[in-house]
Amino acid sequence: GFYSMTCYLHNMAMGQNQSEESYDGPGIKLRLLSWNIDGLDGKDVRQRTESVIQLIQSRRPHIIFLQEVIPPTLSQIRNKLGSNYSIHISPKISFQYFPIILVTKKCPKITIDGEVGMFDFPGSTMGRQLLQLFIKICGVPFALYTSHLESMKDYSRERKEQLRSCFEFVTEQTSLFNRVCILGGDLNIRDNEVAEVGMPPSVVDIWETCGSVEEHKYTWDISNNDNLFWRFPNKPQLRFDRLYLSPGRGEYVKPLSFELVGKERISGCNRFPSDHWGLWTE
């Protein structure tokens, strides 16, 4: 969770039987999920999306970033999750797949703080954009950002430009408006590209902050996830999906754990919910 330390002590003391939604101490233990749910793979898409929805229903994240949502899966998500989550999408969809942000309606400490914003990446040939949503958590202003950056090795230059833009939004919100920023999604990014763009000093990579655990490193892992028909002998393992935090002056905002989810096969089709694992942080 992103905790205030006072909240941490209160949580330790509050006992297991009291739900955190009704707990009125000074902080919150925040749960966040980011996942590319692979709407572009038409095979078993309804069943796979149902499996994503079930994971959300059982783990109850407060904030969710999803990429590669398509109109039919958006309908599924609205039907099953619309009563518990506000669902925020770009007012202008230029491609048949897009990112969305969901925020719980069930926690009074989390409130929406304005309309969703959308910024097109001018150099994108794949309709890629950055989605922005302002919220308040325990009265502290947050800016949430999710995106699905330009895909494929050959588009490295454009992808780096897009990441640079993302970091500019984050640093501006943190420095000018003192918002805590969370940026995440399927960034299709490689380590050398991050190094070339340069991470702003205010920004941390949540996987790294939580100990760079090898077991939770590769979010697109062909050697362990066989959803894609892969005809080549090498089975790449890549950390395409990332979660970044810019805590600003909210020094009490601290990621405590990071793991990959969605690693159980669906019994009916014997496939995973997506070709990406989901990213879970508290």
Largest Cα separation within the chain, whole Å, is 55
CB 147 within 8 A of CB 128: yes
Whole-Å CA distances, 218 to 28, 143, 163, 212, 279? 29, 26, 19, 11, 10
Of the candidates 62, 110, 104, 109, the one whose C-alpha atom is nearest the C-alpha of residue 83 is 104
The angle, 0 to 180 degrees and rounded to 10, between the axes of the packed helices 45-59 and 71-81 is 30
CB atoms near residue 30 (< 10 Å): 26
**Rounded distance between C-alpha atoms, residue 73 and residue 117, angstroms:** 22
Cα 69 from Cα 46, distance rounded (Å): 12
Residue from 38, 41, 113, 186 carrying the catalytic annotation: 186
- Residue indicated by tokens 């309908």: 75
Are 261 and 52 contacting, i.e. CB atoms less than 8 angstroms apart? Answer: no
Q: Provide the token pair at 282.
A: 């508290």
Q: Are strands 129-137 and 220-221 parallel, antiparallel or unpaired?
A: unpaired
Q: Is 186 one of the catalytic residues?
A: yes
Residue 21, both tokens: 């939604």
Beta-strand pair 32-36/63-69: parallel
φ, ψ dihedrals at 224, nearest 5°: -120, -15
Q: Which residues are catalytic?
A: 186
